[in-house]
A and B are shown apart, each in its own frame.
Chain A
Amino acid sequence: MFKVVQGGVSVERQGSSLPASVGMVVYPSDSIVTAADGSAGITFQDNALLSLGPSSRLSLDRFVYDSTTAAGSFETTLSSGQLAVVSGKIAHHQLDAMKVKTPGAILGVRGTRFVVTAGGS
């Protein structure tokens, strides 16, 4: 769910582009796109926190989470711009259950706080 929306932020969902707003829910297979003046912060059910800087694009590839066992799988792709992450229970529960992909690398997340830049931005 979006908790922070600054400047131009949109969600690409099933072929359409929706303006993001605080309180809006995100779904697996959504892409989040920020304009040159945009940034956004999102919380996930496993308590992971993600934020995007300006001129960035992040696709949510997979989010599966069992709140009883904390098992799950969380995969995103940053294709341009900047991403900050504080990992949640999925990453804490199992090694590399949380992955962030960039154009040239795959990050296996073993905790907790980090920033990523996609090259060429």
Chain B
Amino acid sequence: MSARLAAFAALLLLGACAAPDRVILLPDDQGHVGKLNVSGSGGETLLDSAYAEARVKSGQPRRGSTDAASVDREFGTVLAALPPAPVSHQLYFITETDQLTAESRAEAPAILAEVAKRPAAEVVVIGHTDTMGTDDYNDKLSLQRAVAVKQQLVALGFDPARVTVEGHGKRELLVQTGDGVPEARNRRAEILVR
């Protein structure tokens, strides 16, 4: 029995050690390349160029490189399963109201339709105001703006449970101004989509 068991154990051990762990650093959507520190029990290496690769066997990382075609061939399925990258959009409002400007009203359907078609999209809408009026007034107005955007999403069939609304009043100006200054670019809602 022991010889067979030993042979089986050796086979298992061989199987476990057959292939090294591999890591390949890739350029991101914008072509930027980050860095990865790869450490094993016997050493470490830093990957910092596109398609740089480390194979780790017996705790020892060994550097190499590969190319886009090989990565597509070997990792096509897993890369295709990556969710779409998060995006953000801005819509602008007519002064003192939760009504979109004519320009944003024209853009909104395409933006909101794009959001609505992403699978299980999670959306945060943050409303903002310019510095006209009190904090209290602007807190309420900014929240109304966020709610107005949410209502448009829900009208397109978007699950209301996946939209969070926030009103940040006049605290997070896109364009810095003094108090009491009307500024169209600050009267906005950010739509953060994941």
Residues of chain A having any CB pair with chain B under 8 Å: 1-4, 6, 22-23, 39-43, 47, 49-54, 56, 82-84, 86-87, 96, 102-121
Contact = CB atoms under 8 A, between A and B. Distances in A.
A48 B24 CA distance: 17
B34 A113 contact: yes
Interface of B: 15-29, 32, 34-41, 47, 54, 56-59, 61, 71, 75, 77-86, 118-120, 122, 194
Please classify the interface of chain A as helix (H, G, I), strand (E, B), loop, or mixed, using the class held by over half of its residues. strand
Given A86-B82, A120-B17, 13 more contacts: A3-B84, A41-B82, A43-B83, A49-B85, A104-B21, A104-B41, A106-B39, A107-B39, A108-B38, A108-B39, A114-B23, A115-B23, A115-B78
B139 to A, nearest CB: 18
A110 B33 CA distance: 10
A56 B75 CA distance: 13
A96 B38 CA distance: 11
26 contacts: A41-B82, A42-B83, A52-B81, A53-B75, A53-B78, A53-B81, A84-B75, A104-B40, A104-B57, A105-B21, A105-B23, A105-B39, A105-B40, A107-B38, A109-B36, A110-B34, A112-B32, A112-B34, A113-B34, A114-B23, A117-B22, A118-B21, A119-B17, A119-B18, A119-B19, A120-B17
A39 B80 contact: yes
B37 A108 contact: yes
